[in-house]
Amino acid sequence: MLKVTEIENIDFRVELLEEFSEIIKRYPEGKHKAALLPILHLVQAEYGWLSTESMERVANFLDLQPIEVFEVATFYTMFFLKPQGQFVLEVCRTGPCCLVGAEKIIKYIETKLGVKEGEVTSDGRFSWRGVECLAACGMAPVLQIGPDYTFYENLTEEKVDQLIQDLKQNNEAIKSDSQIV
Amino acid sequence: MARKLLLENVNVPGIQTFEVYRQKGGYRSVEKALSSMSPEDVVDEVKKSGLRGRGGAGFPTGMKWSFLAKPEGKPRYLICNADESEPGTFKDRYLMTHIPHLLIEGMIVSSFALGAKTSYIYVRGEMMPQIRILERAIAEAKNAGFLGKNILGSGYDLELYVQPGGGAYICGEETALIESLEGKRGNPRIKPPFPAISGVWGCPTVVNNVESIAAIVPIILDGGDEYAKIGIGRSTGTKLISASGNVNKPGIYEIELGLPVEEFIYSDEFCGGIANGKRLKAVVAGGSSVPILPANLILKTVEGNARLMSYESLAEGGFQTGSMMGSGGFIAFDEDQCIVRNTWNFSRFYHHESCGQCSPCREGTGWMEKVLHRLEYGHGKMSDMDLLIDVAKKIEGNTICPLGDAAAWPVASAIRHFRDEFEWHVNHPKDAVERNFGLGNYADSLDKLVEAEN
């Protein structure tokens, strides 16, 4: 749920505001509300989540009522309304992935990270959640990590170990090795 | 080898770049359309091709285009639906990742046919890498004069933009997609008016799937008649099939429509059989929304004919014994998969993705999920199956958009064909938690139909 918390007043970087302005040019005059989703993605990439203040700033920028931003942010599953770990592992839990072991992988990630779905590890680095179909069923099981939404495919417990280790070391994470034809 | 129209060059190194794509004959359809065809000619070729919407509904694309209103002084829009989210479907991701210029080329020709000066590709937000790929491809095409003002000196102007979604299955429904593009919640609109009359910002709009738009390229290059020669009956052309689940070689396959399902599953050219030497139990042939069929009914129709990968053959027998082509998301289940668990999983998906506008869908999907959950976890009752069918019936046809139907069909069909397994869950609750029902007799050959005597 949205809570007005004590967050420092958010002033978007000038470069970010410039990106916002570029996005608005894609739409006919007066239809700048269409820029809302792309802008929310940018804000989330910048801060890791969408605070009430940042959404109010977006509303201000697009000349919308704050509720018009809140209702959109709460509708779409990609937007986080509370702080997350530095890396959010989003694992697909829908049918086709489950046919080839996604449920086991989810259990494994939960045990490995030692936190429940939606919680953040004590070092602030990781959180995880199950998400619905990511349209990568042929490379199942899969998970994604924002804000670039890099995909990790054909997951095994070993690959999860490796991935988490790599992320901890901030190395370039393992590249997907999709076997797709 | 089957003929490939979309993925012929997909393995050419560097085909993602404009340079290589162009060397391989890319953008010739734009040259042809803009120099020697009128927009009406393009629409006619698409009509002749018999191309049917590849997103799932299968509605003839040319006809959809011809419905577009052309009032004076109002802009018209083409939106490409790249909000691929139907469980089991990942062909659009593949196409955009590996051969993005094919989509851009199709978008230019299609926009020209519809008289759109601004077009959008609405990509699901999770596909950020694909969004970057498309943005790069658009910049390259623009740089080469295929987008922007006065394309190839024809006087035709077009700007093309990529719009990210926010992670909502419902935005694959065209009016929800339009709402989302406008920066709102993805609540489907009541139709009519159809988007062809009043779509994005109240202007005439066409929404087409990625694969449909890509198919415009070979249609314009070879002509609609040539395209229509491929395939079978009213299922013309080629189709991208996303194969997933328990097959040896999951992946994307471009097939000529009319390929026997059995060949698709067992031939080494395609799925290469069921993984780990197991036997096939069931198939969802067109994405999670379409009815699930047991092995015997997916391989052969109830009449005993080989079932083919075509709109008509997959639907043969109606919902009693048939299914649908849908989006081409082909999910195979081996003998160790639990149909009850999978049905519960799909129901949870639809409950999660229901936008909440219509009560039958918002409430019904939740109830189906709950009842299926208790069946799966050994707390089910014998009356639950009829209860589920009753709930499914009350959702179906009573909602603004087809998500309600899509939620109802998998449940109704699972109970129709796998009732034994559901009953086993009720009668053997302890076993049901520990092991699976197994193959049952779902792969046995079917009895010949006998006319009932009065």
In tens digits, what is the pLDDT along chain A, a chain of 181 residues?
334 444 455 689 999 999 999 999 999 999 999 999 999 999 999 999 999 999 999 999 999 999 999 999 999 999 999 999 999 999 999 999 999 999 999 999 999 999 999 999 999 999 999 999 999 999 999 999 988 999 999 999 999 999 999 998 874 444 444 433 3
Residues of A in contact with B161 (CB under 8 A): 26
Cα–Cα dist B440/B295, whole Å: 11
CB A78 within 8 A of CB A48: no
Per-residue pLDDT, A176: 46
- Please name which of B39, B41, B30 lies closest in space to residue B106, comparing C-alpha atoms: B30
Per-residue pLDDT, B292: 97
Interior/surface letters A136-152, b for 16+ CB within 10 angstroms, e for the rest:
bbbbbbbbbbbeebbbb
SS3 of chain A: the string is CCCCCCCCCCCCCHHHHHHHHHHHCCCCCCCHHHHHHHHHHHHHHHHCCCCHHHHHHHHHHHCCCHHHHHHHHHHCCCCCCCCCCCEEEEEECCHHHHHCCHHHHHHHHHHHHCCCCCCECCCCCEEEEEECCCCCHHHCCCEEECCCCEEECCCCHHHHHHHHHHHHCCCCCCCCCCCCC
A8 in contact with B, Cβ within 8 Å = no
**Mean pLDDT, residues B207-223:** 98
Per-residue pLDDT, A11: 84
Where residue B450 falls among pLDDT bands split at 50, 70, 90?
Answer: low
Per-residue pLDDT, A177: 44
A2, β-bridge pairs: none
3-state secondary structure of B399: coil
**Mean pLDDT, residues B29-53:** 97
Residue B144 has pLDDT above 50, yes or no: yes
Of A31, A96, A148, the CB nearest to B87: A96
**Mean pLDDT, residues B55-69:** 95
Of B185, B243, B246, the CB nearest to A72: B185
Cα–Cα dist B19/B27, whole Å: 11
Residues of B in contact with A94 (CB under 8 A): 87, 288, 345-346, 349
Per-residue pLDDT, B452: 65
Per-residue pLDDT, A2: 39
Structural domains present in chain B: 18-229 (3.40.50.11540), 235-334 (3.10.20.600), 339-434 (1.20.1440.230)
Of B88, B164, B242, the CB nearest to A41: B164
- Shortest CA gap B21–chain A (Å): 19
A136 with B246: Cβ contact below 8 A: no
Structural domains present in chain A: 14-75 (1.10.10.1590), 87-168 (3.40.30.10)
Per-residue pLDDT, B3: 84
- Shortest CA gap B410–chain A (Å): 12
**Mean pLDDT, residues B74-86:** 97
Instruction: Give the pLDDT confidence of B103-120 residue by residue, as tens digits.
Output: 999 999 999 999 999 999
Per-residue pLDDT, A162: 95
Residue B138 has pLDDT above 60, yes or no: yes
Report chain B's mean pLDDT, rounded to a whole number. Answer: 96
3-state secondary structure of B437: coil
Per-residue pLDDT, B449: 59
Parallel, antiparallel, or unpaired: how do β-strands B205-209 and B159-164 relate? unpaired
Residue B373 has pLDDT above 80, yes or no: yes
Where residue B445 falls among pLDDT bands split at 50, 70, 90?
Answer: confident
C-alpha separations of B376 from B336, B408, B428, B434, B435 in Å: 15, 18, 11, 11, 11
Per-residue pLDDT, B258: 97
Per-residue pLDDT, B446: 77
Residue B398 has pLDDT above 80, yes or no: yes
Chosen for mutation from A58, A69, A98, A99 (greatest number of chain B CBs closer than 10 Å) is A99
For B345, residues 6+ apart whose C-beta sits below 8 A from its C-beta are A93, A94, A95, A98
Residue B319 has pLDDT above 70, yes or no: yes
**Mean pLDDT, residues B447-454:** 63
